[in-house]
Amino acid sequence: MSVHIVPHGRATEHIHRGLRAFGSVETIYLLTSDAFLSTGEELSSDLDQFGYEVHRRTIDAFDLRDVVDTIVNIAKENPGKEMYINITGGTNLVAGGSTSSAFFIGATPYYVLEPQNGEESIDDLVMRLPTPKQPLTFEIDGLQREVLTIVGRWDQQGRTGVIYRDIGEELGETPQKISYHVNRLVDHGLLETENEGRSKQVYLTDMGRLYLSWTA
């Protein structure tokens, strides 16, 4: 049995089409913004009549972190279950956040097309995107985890673009050792660096924020 995470706006037909393409849907999480609370209520009632277990989560459709955190928390509530995310509805930011989250938690994102001639099969209308199960196949620990954690804490405080020496002084390590671990974190997509004169500035990526949120 599978779990489907479904952001939505005013239009909802694509949601029904998408669900018909999957034969073992057990639970649906509707992600509803404040602008479409009444639509969410109607949709929840409609899906409930079809026998689905429906949960609703209110999201800020213009806050990437809120979208990502909501999806991560849903995944935490459903360990070991097959996860799908319908990325058709909601704002572009919601679609982007949902897709990024799908890659992180190992869910399959899918997009539902509008019928053009009425003769298409459901399978023709539902486009499943490939999902490399990347981030959760590795664990960050030791000094590498400490580097990521301190950069993440500073990011939350609004301090970005730190240099190796800043991190080294905080952790009592040499800039050379910090450089090694930063490069490994860059390889994982959790940090990124930018040349600034003779120094490199270190930034937390959205994937890095997601990883810290997941593993906190």
Domain spanning 2-133: which CATH class is it, in words?
alpha beta
The torsion angles phi and psi of 14, rounded to 5 degrees, stand at: -65, -25
pLDDT of residue 137: 43
Give me the percent of the chain exceeding a pLDDT of 90.
57
- For 130-152, the DSSP string reads P----GGGS---HHHHHHHHHHH
Assess whether pLDDT exceeds 60 at residue 136: no
pLDDT band at 138 (very low <50, low <70, confident <90, very high): low
The domain limits of the chain are 2-133, 142-215
pLDDT of residue 210: 74
- Over residues 28-33, mean pLDDT: 97
pLDDT of residue 207: 78
Give me the percent of the chain exceeding a pLDDT of 70.
95
pLDDT, tens digit (0-9, with 9 covering 90-100), for 150-200: 999 999 999 999 999 999 999 999 999 999 999 999 988 889 999 988 889
Assess whether pLDDT exceeds 70 at residue 22: yes
Of 120-129, 140-149, 158-167, the range with the lowest mean pLDDT is: 120-129
In whole angstroms, give the CA distance from residue 202 to residue 5.
Answer: 33
142-215 carries CATH number 1.10.10.10: yes
Averaged confidence pLDDT in the chain: 89
Assess whether pLDDT exceeds 90 at residue 90: no
